[in-house]
Amino acid sequence: MCVSSFPLLLGKAHPALVHAPIGAVLFLPVLLARALRAGPDREGWLRAARFLATLGLLGGLGAIMSGFLFARHLGGLRPGEWLARPLRPGPSFKALLRSHQLLALAGLPVGAGCALALQGARGKVLGAALGLSLLWLGLWGAAGHWGGRMVFPDPPADGAPS
C-alpha cells in the first residue's frame, strides 16, 4: 500500500468507524441515568460515563475525518470544499450529504459539553450532562439516518428497479 492510497483506505473505512462512537453515545445516557439514581455509589458509574464520552468524542473525530475523505472519494466534495453544496433544491446525494455532515458536526460541541460537564459532575450538573448526552445521541442518530439514506435510497414510487 502506498502512502497516497491511505486517505482512500481510511475514507472507505468510514462506515465501520462510525459504529464505535455511536455505540458509546448510545449507552452514555443509560450510565448517566443510573449514576443519578446511585447516590453515594455513583463514582463507578461516572467513571464509566466519562470513558464512554471520551470514546465517543475521539471516535467521532476519526469518523468525521474519514467521512470527509469518503465524501471526496465519492465525488460529494470538490477539492478544497468541506461541506457539500447541493446544486439544486430537493433531495439529492449532495443534499443528503450536507444534512449528514451538519448533524455530525453539530454533535461534536454538544459531546464536548457533555464530557466537560462530566468532569465535575455533581447534582444538577449531572442532570445537564444527561440532557446533553440525549441531544448528542439525537444529533448523531439523525446523522446516521441521513447517511443511511445516501447508501440505501428509497426505491422508485412505481416499483421499478433503480
Model confidence over 39-75: pLDDT tens digits? 778 889 999 999 999 999 999 998 898 888 888 888 8
Q: Tell which residue, 24, 26, 43, 27, has the closest CA to residue 35.
A: 43
Structurally, how many domains does the chain consist of?
A: 1
Task: Confirm whether 157 is domain-assigned.
Answer: no
What nine digits make up the cell of 88?
Answer: 439544486
Residue type, 143: A
Q: Which residue has the cell 439514581?
A: 37
- Residues 147 and 101: their CA atoms lie apart, in Å, by 9
Residue 65 lies in a domain: yes
Q: Is 52 within 8 Å of 25 (Cβ atoms)?
A: yes
Q: What is the pLDDT of residue 124?
A: 72
The Cα–Cα gap between 156 and 162 comes to 7
* Domain limits for position 44: 3-151
The grid coordinates of residue 140 equal 448523531
More confident residue, 153 or 58: 58
Residues in the chain: 162
For position 39, what pLDDT does the model report? 77
